[in-house]
Amino acid sequence: MHPYRTDIGILQVDIHAPWGGVVPKLAQEAHEAAMDSTVEQALQQAGVRPSDLEAVAVTVGPGLSLCLKVGVQKARQLAAEHGLKYVAVHHMEAHALVARASAPVAFPFLCLLVSGGHNLLVIAHGVGRYSLLGSTLDDAVGEAYDKVARLLGLELRPSGGAAVETLAAEGDDQRFKFSMPLRMRPNCNFSYAGLKTAVRLAIEAEAPGPATDANRQVRADIAASFQRVALTHLEERTRRAAAWALEAEPSICHIVVAGGVAANKLLRSKLQGVAKGIGLELVSPPPQLCTDNGVMVAWAGAERLALGLWEHLPASAADDAWV
Ligand code: KG4
Ligand code: ZN
């Protein structure tokens, strides 16, 4: 019997929690254990058989290759067995494009992508056509949220970022004056390593040891002060990027914010202000489509399919190794 449940709904966070971070081999095993039944249940819920489908879309990267491989092999097997078109999807493009599922966002648009592994400002000119305006010099903002959640002794459920956002709501965001990253660099890049260290030092000085009721207020103040700086950094860079983007592409009407951190309410309201100030409209997918999900991959796959950006796989591809 496999050590992991295979039904939809298992949280890998429980598998990795004892190790203090994602263990690639355990993540791969959990993906393998869940793959077949997850696909079966999705098909059942949609009321279709694989042979009713036209195409199968799958994330090919970036990410942990051991886990990506599990999905790619399943998708290639489905495509080869049932004669489906095979659509390879980039994880961050899926985050960006799913905004077009819930609102009429035309190309070109400015896009802020904020997740656990990426921090990007891009102009999206079309499917597969992006100009990079800025990226992180070290950590992504989601990674900083996750680290701060661990330092504050929070349960990483549903995610470190969500836990910090909840605690921050009880705190004074002015109590700790953490410095704003890259203040003297008038560009669109990001940095979170220094802020992470400043938060660690504040916790060691003001709330050392385990999280308790007695130190809850100071931890909430640290969370709120961290969040103010982390999100103001995103806000300032996005304001600059919007000015740059409008110079390059005056027909831009929308700023899209997507990726797991885009579920954050304070970020959404700050960016609303940026967009309004420059005469643009902010679009962000509903929170459940901001954090990783299958819908965004299916949507990006459908967009690529419509443009003919798919592959036909030979029947032998069912047994292919990692490509
Ligand atoms: O896109 P995503 O689901 O997975 C990756 O591609 O990385 O993003 C996950 C990141 C995590 O770092 C998580 O802590 C963060 O998004 N996150 C949030 C919130 N919800 C998820 N960060 C801040 N506030 C939130 N409400
Ligand atoms: Zn993601």
Please write the tens of the pLDDT for every residue from 132-151: 999 999 999 999 999 999 99
CA 123 to CA 217: how far, in whole Å?
A: 41
Tens digits of residue pLDDT in 76-132 = 999 999 999 999 999 999 999 999 998 999 999 999 999 999 999 999 999 999 999
In this structure, the residue with its CA closest to atom 14 of ligand 1 is 161
Distance 292 CA to ligand 1 centre (A): 8
Average pLDDT for 300-321? 88
CA 283 to CA 82: how far, in whole Å?
A: 37
**Closest C-alpha to 194, from 223, 229, 149:** 229
pTM across the whole model:
0.94
Distance 181 CA to ligand 2 centre (A): 23
Rounded to whole angstroms, the maximal C-alpha distance in the chain is 63
Query: How close are the terminal C-alpha atoms of the chain, in Å?
Result: 30
**Encoded tokens for 81:** 């067995």
CA 322 to CA 103: how far, in whole Å?
A: 36
Report residue 6's pLDDT band, with 50, 70 and 90 as the boundaries: very low
Cβ–ligand 1 distance for 145 under 6 Å, the answer: yes
Distance 307 CA to ligand 1 centre (A): 30
CA 312 to CA 323: how far, in whole Å?
A: 14
Homologous superfamily assigned to 12-94+293-319: ATPase, nucleotide binding domain (3.30.420.40)
Average pLDDT for 202-211? 96
Coil vs helix vs strand at 246:
helix
Asked if pLDDT for residue 203 goes beyond 90, the answer is yes
CATH topology of domain 104-284: Nucleotidyltransferase; domain 5 (3.30.420)
Beta bridge partners of 109: 124
Average pLDDT for 312-316? 84
Ligand nearest to the CA of 263: 1
Comma-separated ranges of CATH 3.30.420.40 domains in the chain: 12-94+293-319, 104-284
- Please give the number of the atom of ligand 1 that sits closest to the Cα of 92: 6
In this structure, the residue with its CA closest to atom 13 of ligand 1 is 161
Q: How many CB atoms lie within 10 A of CB 312?
A: 11
Residue type, 120: L
pLDDT at position 321 is 56
Average pLDDT for 52-62? 97
Pocket test for ligand 1, best of 92, 115, 154 (most atoms within 8 A of CB): 115
Sorted by sequence, the CB contacts under 8 Å of residue 183 that are 6+ apart come out as: none
Distance 261 CA to ligand 2 centre (A): 9
Burial class (CB in 10 A: 0-12, 13-18, 19+), 293: middle
